């Protein structure tokens, strides 16, 4: 099964870089054939180019929820974002909208998509370091991704 592990984020916006950092933590740790680990700051429709051609995708990104605890990790399916689909300019399209459009266009998108979303405290301050709670979540999330690859689903922390 051709699998993409995709860490998303902005490397200069503090906790927003967490997806990139988890992807880096996985590099060299995974020697499975057919598994690609990639980091990107691409959003919106640009994600379709990266996802096309894979059977499975594991996406790691930052999330901020009302009342969330920094460092908490959520294992989500794309359906969790169903309510966020909307029409918008191409540079402002979220993941759910991009996946819906890709599906309607008949793109060869992954049949299986899992999202590991790490609750962040600060995704807007310029800085190259994550907050301590988010830093502690990076190796935990990396282990969750490895378990996911091995067919073991770990519930959110």
Is residue 55 within 8 A of residue 7, CB to CB? The reply is: no
Question: In this structure, what token pair is assigned to residue 126?
Answer: 């310029």
Give pTM, 2 decimals: 0.87
Chain segment 105-133, per-residue pLDDT in tens: 999 999 999 999 999 999 889 999 999 99
Confidence of residue 72 (pLDDT cuts 50, 70, 90): very high
Q: Which fold has domain 3-149?
A: Rossmann fold (3.40.50)
| Predicted pLDDT of residue 44 | 82
Average pLDDT over residues 58-78: 93
Unique residue bearing structure tokens 């379709």: 48
Closest of 41, 118, 39, 109 to residue 74, by C-alpha: 118
């Amino acid at each position: 099964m051709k699998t993409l592990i995709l860490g998303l984020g902005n490397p200069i916006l503090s906790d927003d870089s967490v997806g990139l950092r988890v992807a880096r933590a996985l590099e060299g740790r995974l020697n499975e054939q057919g598994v690609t680990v990639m980091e990107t700051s691409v959003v919106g429709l640009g994600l379709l180019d990266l996802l096309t051609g894979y059977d499975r995708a594991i996406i790691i990104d930052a999330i901020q929820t009302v009342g969330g605890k920094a460092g908490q990790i959520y294992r989500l399916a794309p359906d969790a974002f169903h309510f966020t689909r909307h029409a918008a300019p191409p540079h402002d399209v979220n993941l759910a909208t991009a996946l819906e459009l890709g599906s309607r266009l008949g793109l060869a998108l992954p049949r299986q998509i899992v999202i590991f979303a790490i609750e962040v405290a600060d995704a807007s301050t310029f800085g190259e370091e994550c907050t301590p709670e988010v830093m502690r979540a990076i190796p935990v999330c990396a282990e969750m991704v490895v378990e996911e690859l091995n067919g073991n689903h770990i519930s959110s922390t």
